[in-house]
Every structure is written in C-alpha cells, then in structure tokens.
A and B are shown apart, each in its own frame.
Chain A
Amino acid sequence: MAMTEVQDQLEGNVGIGDLAPRVRQDTMLINMGPQHPSTHGVLRLQLELDGETVVKCTPHIGYVHTGIEKTIENRTWQQAVTCTDRMDYLCPLINNLGYALAVEKLLGCEIPPRAQVARVILSELTRLASHLVWLGTHAIDLGAMSVFLYCFREREGIMDLFDLTTGQRMMTSYIRVGGLALDLHPDFPERTAQFCRAFPAHIDEYEALLTNNEIWQERTQGVGVITKEQAIALGVTGPSLRATGFEWDLRKQQPYTGFEQYDFVVPTRTAGDCYARYQVRIQEMRESVKIIEQALSKLPGGPFRTSDRRVALPPRMEINTSMESLIHHFKLVTEGVRVPAGEVYVAVESPRGELGFYVVSDGTNHPYRCHVREPSFVNLQALPPMMEGRLIADAVACIGSLDPVIGGTDR
C-alpha cells in the first residue's frame, strides 16, 4: 500500500476531513496512544513527523468520557459528591472540596473551624499524593525506575492515612456539603504528624536521585518550553504556569477554607521548561508539608459539620421529642438538601491548577447544571506548542511534565 493511502486511512480513521489538506506528503503520521504507558491514561496523540522532529501534534481525548456532568444533574446535591471523586482520581479530596465549597456558597452556610482545618490538611495530603504519582511516573517515563518505587512507597503512607480517616484509599467522598462525612479518626493527627516528620527526608532522596542528575537535566532542561504569555493565553494554570515565572496560586491569591492563615511560599521558576515544572512541584511538596504541620498544630475540637439545619440532620434527642424534627429528618434523608436558586463559579487550586465548579441551582434537591473546569483538560492544550518543532523523544517528557489526568480531562 502506498504511503499516501496509509495516511488517508489514518485520517479517515479519526474523522478529521478538514485537516487532510494540511498533511504533507514528505512527512510521516504516527499514532501515540491511547494505550501507551507514558500518556498517563488514555490520551492519544497524532504526531506528524519530519524525520524525528514533531511537525504537528494533535491530541485526541474522550476515551474515558463517562458523562459525569450529566450524572451529577441526576443525583441529589450530596450524592453528587461521589461523582467528583471519579473525575481526577489522583486528587479526590480536592475535587470534593471544590464542589462542596461551590454548593456551600449557594447555600451561604458556615463551616465549623474543625472541618475547615481538616479540609486544609486533607487537601494538602492529596496534593502530596498526586505530586508523588506525577514524580514517579514522570521519572519512569524518562528512564529513572527507582524514583517510581520510592514515590509509591511514600504515597502508600498517604493512602493509609486516607484509609484510616475516610475509610477509602481513593474514592473518598469524605468532604461533604456542610463539612465532613465523619469526624477525623482519633489517631489521624498523630499519624499524619509522624508522616510529616519523615517526609522531607524522602523529598531529599528524590532530589538526590534527580535534581543534579546529568541525564535528568539533559532530558528536561530546555524541553517543552512555554512562555508566560503563551501559558496565560492557553489558560494554563498551576505548577505549569508558576514554572514560567508567574506567581499565581489560588490558595494565596483567592484563599478558601482558611488558607490565608497559613504561612507558606508559592514557588516559581522562570525557565518554563520541564525541569522548571519539576522544581516547582518538588518545592510545592515541601510547602505542603509545612501547611499540614501548621494545620495539625491548630486543629481545634468541636463539630465537624455545620449546624445549619438546611444541611445538617437534627440531633437524635430532638427527633425523640419533636414531630417537626422527625419530619425534617425524614425530608432531608429521603429528598436531600434543597439549595436556593442561583449560580456560582468557585475555583480551588488542585495539584494541576485551577479546578473550577460552575454550579447552577434551580432551587430543587439536585444540581441543575454542574460544569467542571478541569485543569488537566485546559492545560493539555499547551501540549502542541510545547512539542512542535522538537524531537519525538521529548514528547514523553512534555506529557509527563504537564501532569494530565485523563479521568479529569474526559470526565
């Protein structure tokens, strides 16, 4: 079969007839993914190569689209929390938090201090767990096998902490509208403190393996460069934006759930390459440990759920004595929370950038519309400008350094 026919077939396969005239005859089209270990999920890239240089990169996503936004519309407000876990499966608690904050903003309900501090601890632990998976997989993609093993060793420790207090390793659904699902496990603060004491030494280990490693530097320095202007135009947020020299972290700029009370630095680098993104994330892990330690030292007692009766169940004693409380309890359990009509956009800083929830309520017991601005989805648009004009061998470094989670992009 002639080469052109192969190309036509490839084009026909993906149904992008409009793009066909742009395919040059002296280049080669290759398909990377969706089942490729370094695409971190089922991301498919159509690469047009001139020799070993990538001329054009076309990402194709949607292979794990599960209609989560549609599903949320068909659940009650509290049930929908479980859907948010399953989007970006590496940071379930931050997804829970973003959704809960959006609904709480619609409700206008106050969250008790214990729940606020617990939310900070949990979201920073999630950030650590997510960055550890990123570092391990990014390193293994570029040939540094041992880093992967070390990272997953520490991640297991965080998973055990989640298991202890939420009952789940990954699909936690622990941060609910109005507070937390359960109170923190009595052993959780002490075991988290133990983890935090040990963890900085482990970051030193990863750095000893990578930061001054000549091969690592050769593979990442000057690779996948985007400028600050490009990043902003493409909507890139999170560590990838901070690696271009722009200090923008929602925890600092638009603090939520009490982040303004903690002392931490927003690390930035100016190179905008894969190495800069690596450095930013390593520093972020150190800062997250600092935040967790501060939060643990001030973790107050008291309720872990709001006392707002639109969300909270009446206490048992009241149900025994008051008919109205019994009816209220019955309505909340069977129908669920009713949220006043309105719409809000609330954003939190996920390990990948701005995670936004645009939630519309029509005043009933289920969300009317819930759109999720997934940082993985938006950041992935920066992949073609990073890769085009560079060697195909750098493609893997670029994907890894953007840290996309395909469960998040596809939802």
Chain B
Amino acid sequence: MSIEAKPEQAETADTRHPAAQRLDAALPGALHRTLEQRGQTVLVVDRERIRDVLASLRDDPALRFGMLADLTAVDYLGMDREPRFNVVYNLLSFANNNRVTVKVEVPEGDEVVPSVTPDWPTANWLEREVFDMMGIRFSGHPDLRRILMPHDWQTNPQRKDVPLGEEPVAFSDNVPPNEPA
C-alpha cells in the first residue's frame, strides 16, 4: 500500500493553515500570502482591510480567534525589503487553543493603518505604543497619543534610524579648550 498521495489530489488539497483557507473564502483577495515557519503561521493581509480580516478570524465559527494577544510593529529599514514597516497582530483562539500571526505591510511616508480598537478594546494601548515607538498612525483610534515617551518627545525611538540614546560626556576631545580672552 502506497502512502504517497495521488498527484491530482495533491494539487487540489489546500494544505495551508485553516485560518488562511477560511479567510480566503470569506474575504477574497484580502490575504496576500501565507508564511509557515517553526510551526507558526503568518498571514500577510491587505492593510486597508485589516479590520475586516481580524473580525472575520474572530467571528468564523471554525476559527474563533477570541483574543488579540499582542500588537506590535517591526521596522525593516536597510533590510532590502519593501515596504519598510510591518504591523503584527497576534491572535489567540481559546476554542481551538492555537495562535495565528497576522501582518500588514506599511510603506514609508504613508504610515497609516486602520485602527482595530473599535473591535478589540485591548488594542487601544498597544496601538498607542506602536504610534509612540514607530510613528505609525492608526486611523479611527479614539485616543491616539504617546504612551511611554514624554508627550513633547520628537522622535519615534524604536525606528532603526534613531540611534540608541546617550548623553555626551564633556571631555577634552569634544569640548574646545577655553580660548584666552
């Protein structure tokens, strides 16, 4: 008895994560691609439809990703990778006891992502943290302001082009010697 699948079956069978299959069926075109690595699934989806995507993953009776466990962003500056930013959503399903990562890609110069706070109250502070640290704005957020840094801070510290903070120490090599009057 052969354990090899027949070629025609292998072509039709969708081996992707159920979340990817259900999402493709519910919102055609929203899912750009699926990445599988180290046993974890990453769904890269359309930025403008992120609210629909997360709501669909939550409300689908077969998936029921009931909690937004984490929301963060990554800056891929200088990594030969376009677009520059990713906003990363980590969903947890209590019913199926599994997780899925959803990502949207955000280009430099247009750092706006629809806020998911109206659907997920927990996203409120998490989006504020991304806004504060990465400078990505969330349209439709009820209270978008800095959360960790002082409100008059100028930079977005977690961006890769912001250097690690340090205070220069006055020393003979960086302070000009006093000129005699």
Contacts and interface: CB of A to CB of B under 8 A. Distances in A.
Nearest to B75: A369
B151 interface: yes
A345 B99 contact: yes
Contacts of B94: 232, 246, 248
Contacts of A290: none
B70 interface: yes
Interface residues of B, number: 40
A235 B122 contact: yes
A373 B69 contact: yes
Interface of B: 37-38, 40, 42, 66-70, 72, 74-75, 79, 88, 90, 94, 97, 99, 101, 120-122, 124-126, 129, 133, 143, 145-152, 157-158, 164-165
A62 B148 contact: yes
Interface of A: 14-16, 18-19, 61-62, 65, 67, 69-71, 74, 105-106, 108, 232-235, 246, 248, 253-254, 342-345, 347, 354, 356, 358, 360, 362, 368-369, 371, 373, 377-378, 380-381, 410-411
B62 to A, nearest CB: 19
A70 B164 contact: yes
A284 B177 CA distance: 64
13 contacts: A15-B151, A19-B143, A65-B148, A67-B164, A70-B164, A232-B94, A233-B121, A235-B122, A342-B37, A343-B101, A345-B70, A369-B74, A411-B148
Contact of A377 (B67, B74, B125, B150): B125
B68 A235 contact: yes
Contact of B158 (A69, A343, A354, A358): A69
Contacts of A343: 37, 42, 101
Contacts of B164: 67, 70-71, 74
Contacts of A69: 133, 158
Given A70-B157, A343-B42, A345-B90, A381 B125 contact: yes
Contacts of A105: 38
A250 to B, nearest CB: 10
A227 B141 CA distance: 24
Contact of A234 (B79, B121, B145, B157): B121
